[in-house]
Amino acid sequence: MIRLSCCAFPASRLRVFWFLELRLYIIPRRVSVIMPALQIVNYPHPALRWKSKPVKSITPELRDIVRKMFDLMYEARGIGLAANQVALPYRLFVINLTSDPNEPDEEFVFINPEITKRKGTAEGEEGCLSLPQVYGDVKRSEEITVEAYDLNGQLFEITLDDLAARAVQHEHDHIEGIMFPDRMVEAKRNEIDVLIADFESEFRHKQETGEYPPDEEIRNQLAQLEQELG
């Protein structure tokens, strides 16, 4: 989630190119993979440090996951959510800069995204649905070009700036296991360390009470999910 008031893809800067010959394989039938009930996980859940591998195929389950991710993102009033944030090791994230479920045209799904070009630098405040109420300034590229697959398995290229560029870079970091405080300068990061420590204590407490398994077990589950659907 990026806490900024600007809330629309800058249409004049939005350039999408379709590559008809490049598609992810779409599997039309259901495969039996048991998915856990999705929920947004907070730092320091191990999924948030997982470097996700590319998705190989778009299954009906993956479409269901993406829909659920949008729903969870709207519930939390966010504008972006990566699969790692719902404890899934898949290289994808969703964005709707309006954070409004009544604006489905603003929904963008980025599967196996790659940032292919960067221009300039811009500093701005960011927050994260996996670190609620924690905010900090982060330097990002001002303009980026991204290649990704959409939910139809079609490769597209898009050039973004302003909030859209920041949101995509923030979410792209998630699938690399990077969180926004990692990008902050040390002096500013120190200011929020105490808040981050509270999340650490809370998560460890939940592990002690059995709400979450130990880290090693979570990592084993992630590795298994990666094998089943990745």
List active site positions.
171
Output 89 or 155, the one with its CB closest to Zn ion.
89
Q: What does the alpha-carbon distance between residue 138 and residue 123 come to, in Å, rounded to a whole number?
A: 5
In the complex, residue closest to Zn ion by CB: 128
Output 23 or 68, the one with its CB closest to Zn ion.
68
Closest to 230 in 3D by CA, of 83, 114, 120:
83
Q: What does the alpha-carbon distance between residue 107 and residue 49 come to, in Å, rounded to a whole number?
A: 26
Output 43 or 149, the one with its CB closest to Zn ion.
43
Positions that interact with Zn ion (CB under 5 A): 128
**Residue 4 CB contacts under 8 Å (≥ 6 apart), including other chains:** 124, 125, 163, 166
Output 155 or 179, the one with its CB closest to Zn ion.
179
Closest separation in Å from C-beta 50 to Zn ion: 14
| Phi–psi pair at 107, nearest 5 degrees | -80, 130
Closest separation in Å from C-beta 32 to Zn ion: 31
Q: What does the alpha-carbon distance between residue 153 and residue 18 come to, in Å, rounded to a whole number?
A: 11
| Phi–psi pair at 179, nearest 5 degrees | -115, 160
Q: What does the alpha-carbon distance between residue 158 and residue 154 come to, in Å, rounded to a whole number?
A: 13
Output 59 or 96, the one with its CB closest to Zn ion.
96
Name residue 144's beta-bridge partners.
118, 160
Q: What does the alpha-carbon distance between residue 60 and residue 162 come to, in Å, rounded to a whole number?
A: 33
Closest separation in Å from C-beta 142 to Zn ion: 20
Closest separation in Å from C-beta 130 to Zn ion: 6
Closest separation in Å from C-beta 171 to Zn ion: 7
* Strand 108-128 versus strand 92-95 pairing type: antiparallel
